[in-house]
């Protein structure tokens, strides 16, 4: 989730349009983003991960100019050759093989531009760049260094430079341990040699994807910018470069190409994709002619000519004709579609277990019980320790954020005791039940575990006993069409000789009994409790 902040005035200047609250809050999200807040001239939007081109105010304003009708049609970015070369050494291949670069000249950098640039860089790193693993961007003051530049891998102890945010020379290893951004070293630390970009005089521009050198730090005095993008996916690297370069181009900079390992970059030629007009019309249930389609395409900055769309170079998300259909739909306006209900045949049918569950619920309510709903997620302490039960095999997570939720419940009754514990100051008697799914590990099943529908029931009062609930289980099962038989059991959650195992057709379906005082103590419950729990799936199978 990338949330970006834009200065409304800056946005207005770049869009050439005044924006009131209604536009900012309700109109703009129809472009495909989520309004978060508007405070003191700053507006916040959540940008979806498919649109990294909206992460800068310049890119966002560009999209708005189309969306609000200020501009239309494909914008072609002009480039000149900067004459600068970037050499790529083979040594880089195992660690971070992809790089691209561009130059933007004569840019008037003010506070807005600087902040937007930093925000764009940070957000691209986080989302599109997968925390800099896939893509990392470096932005430099070109005039502080001299081309040609070289991208290579070096021994981490070999090269020293002053990184951004520091005034001491450090080698790459030291940056990993001492620099605040040193954490990112983990992306390359499995390799013997780590990447650097150096200039003609071996001055370090950057230690990608970790930190730039202080030498090329960009400030309001910077006029000419050198952009490097490194990563593990060449396509993604080029796309990020296009987004950053055109974003600065929107600020008035002149984009210039760099020869990157012999290839001219950035490549700002539009991509083209063929999309059948019938495909668009049938998916959107519209009856557009070429002309209308062309207008809608222009309204989102796409070019269109007889079946072929031209996609601007900063749009990195178009990977199938369907993506263009969506942009056409957005251009048309989601609110402008005439909704309809198609005539798709179908006979409504429910799951047998759900219908059966409803019957069980109805009967339990008839017996006077209140339905509750507890969480499927729980922990072993609740499910076993507090129940005075030996631990059993359960479905268990490996990365739970909270210690309270580390496994899936196997039984419902422990969770119901927790409900009673939390309702002790309320009036008595309390008769509660839950019918819901629990999870049982089953190595033979496809995913190694399966859901079991279970019913758990408890009564708490000053005086309750075994018969109070055994009669309910017995009657319940009888009404559901079966006979229940009860046998003595030795379940340690219950009081000795005051509990039974419930059988239907010779199959054990559950237990019933008076909860052991030790268990009640474990839950800090101070009145007697009786309970039962049965496997509803088993019951359904037997009926």
What is the footprint of other proteins within residues 282-311 (CB under 8 A)?
Answer: 282-285
Number of Cβ within a 10 Å radius of residue 233: 16
Beta 449-460 vs 529-535: how paired, if at all? antiparallel
The least distance separating other proteins from the CB of residue 360, rounded to whole angstroms, comes to: 11
Say whether residue 49 binds other proteins (CB under 8 A): yes
Contacts of 317 (CB under 8 A, 6+ apart): 50, 51, 323
Where in 405-528 does DSSP place strands (E)? 407-408, 430-441, 449-460, 484-488, 494-504, 507-515
Q: Which of 447, 386, 462 is nearest to 418 (CA)?
A: 386
Sign, CA dihedral 23-24-25-28, equals: positive
What is the footprint of other proteins within residues 256-285 (CB under 8 A)?
Answer: 282-285
Sign, CA dihedral 195-197-203-205, equals: negative
Q: Could you tell me the two tokens for 89?
A: 């050494």
- Give the whole-angstrom CA distance, residue 254 versus residue 14: 17
Say whether residue 404 binds other proteins (CB under 8 A): yes
Say whether residue 41 binds other proteins (CB under 8 A): no
Say whether residue 160 binds other proteins (CB under 8 A): no
Say whether residue 186 binds other proteins (CB under 8 A): no
Say whether residue 241 binds other proteins (CB under 8 A): no
Strand partners, 104: 225, 255
Window contacting other proteins (CB under 8 A); options: 96-104, 137-145, 246-254, 402-410: 402-410
For residue 266, cis peptide bond before it (omega within 30 degrees of 0): yes
- Mapped onto helix, strand or coil, the DSSP state of residue 110 is coil
Window contacting other proteins (CB under 8 A); options: 6-14, 135-143, 371-379, 477-485: 371-379
Say whether residue 397 binds other proteins (CB under 8 A): yes
Among 200, 320, 488, 518, binds other proteins (CB under 8 A): 320
- Give the whole-angstrom CA distance, residue 533 versus residue 472: 12
Say whether residue 22 binds other proteins (CB under 8 A): no
- Give the whole-angstrom CA distance, residue 50 versus residue 48: 6
C-beta of 495 vs 520, nearer to other proteins: 520
Among 23, 264, 422, 497, binds other proteins (CB under 8 A): 422
Say whether residue 462 binds other proteins (CB under 8 A): no
What is the footprint of other proteins within residues 111-130 (CB under 8 A)?
Answer: 127, 130
The least distance separating other proteins from the CB of residue 123, rounded to whole angstroms, comes to: 12
The least distance separating other proteins from the CB of residue 32, rounded to whole angstroms, comes to: 4
What is the footprint of other proteins within residues 209-238 (CB under 8 A)?
Answer: 233, 235-236
C-beta of 354 vs 462, nearer to other proteins: 354
Q: Could you tell me the two tokens for 305?
A: 């000519």
Half-sphere exposure of 516 (CA within 13 A, CB side): 16
Among 111, 290, 393, 541, binds other proteins (CB under 8 A): 393
Among 174, 254, 326, 508, binds other proteins (CB under 8 A): 326
C-beta of 155 vs 371, nearer to other proteins: 371
Among 319, 463, 487, 524, binds other proteins (CB under 8 A): 319
Say whether residue 488 binds other proteins (CB under 8 A): no
Say whether residue 42 binds other proteins (CB under 8 A): no
Q: Could you tell me the two tokens for 301?
A: 């900055």
What is the footprint of other proteins within residues 438-457 (CB under 8 A)?
Answer: 439, 441, 443, 445-451
Q: Could you tell me the two tokens for 371?
A: 């339905």
Which stretch of DSSP H or E encloses residue 308? Answer: strand 308-311
Say whether residue 346 binds other proteins (CB under 8 A): yes
Q: Could you tell me the two tokens for 273?
A: 């994709």
The least distance separating other proteins from the CB of residue 467, rounded to whole angstroms, comes to: 19
- Mapped onto helix, strand or coil, the DSSP state of residue 264 is strand
Say whether residue 402 binds other proteins (CB under 8 A): yes
Say whether residue 536 binds other proteins (CB under 8 A): no
Among 6, 207, 304, 369, binds other proteins (CB under 8 A): 369
Site for other proteins (CB under 8 A): how many residues?
95
Among 364, 412, 509, 539, binds other proteins (CB under 8 A): 364
Say whether residue 423 binds other proteins (CB under 8 A): yes
C-beta of 201 vs 349, nearer to other proteins: 349
The least distance separating other proteins from the CB of residue 412, rounded to whole angstroms, comes to: 12
Say whether residue 367 binds other proteins (CB under 8 A): yes
The least distance separating other proteins from the CB of residue 335, rounded to whole angstroms, comes to: 7
Among 39, 278, 306, 345, binds other proteins (CB under 8 A): 345
- Mapped onto helix, strand or coil, the DSSP state of residue 537 is helix
Cα–Cα distances in angstroms (integers) from residue 226 to residues 136, 176, 222, 280, in the given order: 14, 25, 11, 41
Q: Could you tell me the two tokens for 455?
A: 């019913």
C-beta of 258 vs 539, nearer to other proteins: 539
Cα–Cα distances in angstroms (integers) from residue 64 to residues 57, 252, 254, in the given order: 10, 17, 22
Q: Could you tell me the two tokens for 491?
A: 């379940």
Say whether residue 358 binds other proteins (CB under 8 A): yes
Window contacting other proteins (CB under 8 A); options: 90-98, 110-118, 223-231, 399-407: 399-407
Among 399, 462, 487, 490, binds other proteins (CB under 8 A): 399
Cα–Cα distances in angstroms (integers) from residue 60 to residues 7, 8, 11, 118, 138, in the given order: 12, 12, 8, 15, 21
- Give the whole-angstrom CA distance, residue 99 versus residue 205: 14
Say whether residue 322 binds other proteins (CB under 8 A): yes
Q: Which of 101, 165, 94 is nearest to 137 (CA)?
A: 101
């Amino acid at each position: 989730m990338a949330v970006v902040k834009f200065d409304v005035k800056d946005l207005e200047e770049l869009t050439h349009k005044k924006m009131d609250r209604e536009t900012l809050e309700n109109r703009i999200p129809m472009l495909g983003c989520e309004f978060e807040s508007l405070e003191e001239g700053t507006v916040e939007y959540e940008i979806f991960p498919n649109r990294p081109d909206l992460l800068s105010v310049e890119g966002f304003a560009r999209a708005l100019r189309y969306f609000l009708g200020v501009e239309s049609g494909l914008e072609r970015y002009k480039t000149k050759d900067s004459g600068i070369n970037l050499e790529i050494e083979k040594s880089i291949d195992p660690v971070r093989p992809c790089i691209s670069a561009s130059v933007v000249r004569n840019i008037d950098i003010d506070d807005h531009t600087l902040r937007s640039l930093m925000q764009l860089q940070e957000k691209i790193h986080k989302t599109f760049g997968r925390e800099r693993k896939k893509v990392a961007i470096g932005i430099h003051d070109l005039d502080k260094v001299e081309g040609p530049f070289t991208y290579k891998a070096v021994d981490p102890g070999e090269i020293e430079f002053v990184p951004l945010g520091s005034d001491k020379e450090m080698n790459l290893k030291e940056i990993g341990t001492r620099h605040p951004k040193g954490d990112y070293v983990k992306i390359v630390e499995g390799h013997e040699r780590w990447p650097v970009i150096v200039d003609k005089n071996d001055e370090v521009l950057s230690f990608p994807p970790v930190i730039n050198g202080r030498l090329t730090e960009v400030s309001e005095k910077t006029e000419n910018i050198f952009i490097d993008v490194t990563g593990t996916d060449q396509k993604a690297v080029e796309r990020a470069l296009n987004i950053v370069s055109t974003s600065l181009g929107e600020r008035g900079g002149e984009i210039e190409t760099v020869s990157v390992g012999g290839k001219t970059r950035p490549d700002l030629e539009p991509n083209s994709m063929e999309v059948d007009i019938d495909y668009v019309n049938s998916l959107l249930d519209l009856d557009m002619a070429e002309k209308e389609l062309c207008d809608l395409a222009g309204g989102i900055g796409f070019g269109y000519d007889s079946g072929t769309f031209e996609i601007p170079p900063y749009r990195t998300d178009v990977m199938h004709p369907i993506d263009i259909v969506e942009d056409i739909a957005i251009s048309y306006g989601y609110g402008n579609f005439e909704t309809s209900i198609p005539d798709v045949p179908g006979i409504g049918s429910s799951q047998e277990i759900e219908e059966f569950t409803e019957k069980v619920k109805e009967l339990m309510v008839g017996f006077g019980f209140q339905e509750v709903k507890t969480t499927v997620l729980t922990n072993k302490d609740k499910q076993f320790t507090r129940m005075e039960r030996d631990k059993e095999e359960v479905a268990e997570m490996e990365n739970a954020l909270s210690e309270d939720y580390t496994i899936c419940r196997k039984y419902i009754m422990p969770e119901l005791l927790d409900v009673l514990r939390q309702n002790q100051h309320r009036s008595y008697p309390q008769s509660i039940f839950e019918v819901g799914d629990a999870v049982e590990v089953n190595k033979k099943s496809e995913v190694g575990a399966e859901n079991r529908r279970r019913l758990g029931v408890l009564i708490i009062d000053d005086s309750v006993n075994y018969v109070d609930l055994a009669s309910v289980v017995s009657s319940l099962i009888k009404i559901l069409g079966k006979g229940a038989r009860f046998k003595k059991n030795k379940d340690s959650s219950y009081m000795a000789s005051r509990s039974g195992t419930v059988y239907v057709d010779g199959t054990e379906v559950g237990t019933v009994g008076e909860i052991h005082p030790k268990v009640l103590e474990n839950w800090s419950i101070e009145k007697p409790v009786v309970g039962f729990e049965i496997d509803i799936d088993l019951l359904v199978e037997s009926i």
